[in-house]
Chains A and B, each alone.
Chain A
């Protein structure tokens, strides 16, 4: 059971770094709104020419959950997912999976995944797309946290009463 995965072990240091970079790009684009991603791509001067490897399509995946770390797994519900796969001209293949039914969102995710793997495009993508999206996500997270913090109830009186005894 505990056999090492040859594919993972065979990955060299740079390959692991690339995997991490791709995962970050996937996460950022999947979590961002389609319109924000589109706005970032629209600001780029030029984009690599790409051809679809298979047509973009929508499907359902079953989301599974469990209560606590040791609960039984149960089917939480189905989630629509759009997926795309594109190849940059003479370059790598990128795949994109995003929640929802937005073809463009999935195609942009696939394009970004391909660009992250290409030495010629990686830095441009980071500057023009990934960094702004990361900032926007951090801002959104911060705003949500502040909204939530405003509703926090502080039971300081009870705590103090107990501490003084």
Chain B
């Protein structure tokens, strides 16, 4: 597969240091679920670009969303950029992907992604969902490891249906997807261990 380089922009200026810092941020976000973690330093495609540069390589198949339902992955600019900088393959089906980058506007059913198996729950996919904003949406309460009592978040653009699916994702623990919500240059981690409660 040829990669069209004409639209590809630069990645991290200092790959090792920037990726280490980013890794720390992602770790913080996933170990303190529900906290908004600000990222420093910016690359193209914002938080999802930075996460991709940090976590992806040639062993991590990526799924970029499926608008038409025919297995055709749309976001060509992002796909080219990923293929150049991370060298990661694009997964042929959602099940094969170990990382999934989606927009909140076209969220598919979460159960089509790989939730790991009983022997190797660590092979489950990580979802990175881009939202318009991490505040000002429908409030949701979180409980679980990494949260002292209860944490309330209100990310914009997620439907009640998504939260039901996320709660179902928790129900199959230790299997399940890890979710990172992004907006501009901030992220919220929702690991599979977090219990999601409706506000009230």
Contact = CB atoms under 8 A, between A and B. Distances in A.
Partners in one complex: yes
Interface of A: 7, 51-55, 85, 87, 92-93, 95
B149 interface: no
Contacts of A53: 5, 8-11, 84
Q: DSSP majority for the A interface?
A: strand
Q: DSSP majority for the B interface?
A: loop
Contacts of A54: 10-11, 15, 84-85
A7 B2 contact: yes
Interface in B5-47: 5-6, 8-11, 15
Q: Which of B5, B15, B84 has the most CB of A within 10 A?
A: B5
23 contacts: A7-B2, A51-B10, A52-B10, A53-B5, A53-B8, A53-B9, A53-B10, A53-B11, A53-B84, A54-B10, A54-B11, A54-B15, A54-B84, A54-B85, A55-B15, A85-B5, A85-B84, A87-B10, A92-B6, A93-B5, A93-B6, A93-B8, A95-B5
Nearest to A93: B5
Given A52-B10, A53-B84, A95-B5, 9 more contacts: A53-B9, A54-B11, A54-B15, A54-B84, A54-B85, A85-B84, A92-B6, A93-B6, A93-B8
Contacts of A85: 5, 84
A85 to B, nearest CB: 8
Q: Which of B9, B10, B84, B85 has the most CB of A within 10 A?
A: B10
Nearest to A53: B10
A146 B80 CA distance: 48
Contacts of A87: 10
A7 B5 CA distance: 14
Interface string B138-169: 00000000000000000000000000000000
Contacts of A92: 6
B53 to A, nearest CB: 10
B166 to A, nearest CB: 35
Contacts of B5: 53, 85, 93, 95
A85 B6 CA distance: 12
Interface string B82-99: 001100000000000000
Contacts of B8: 53, 93
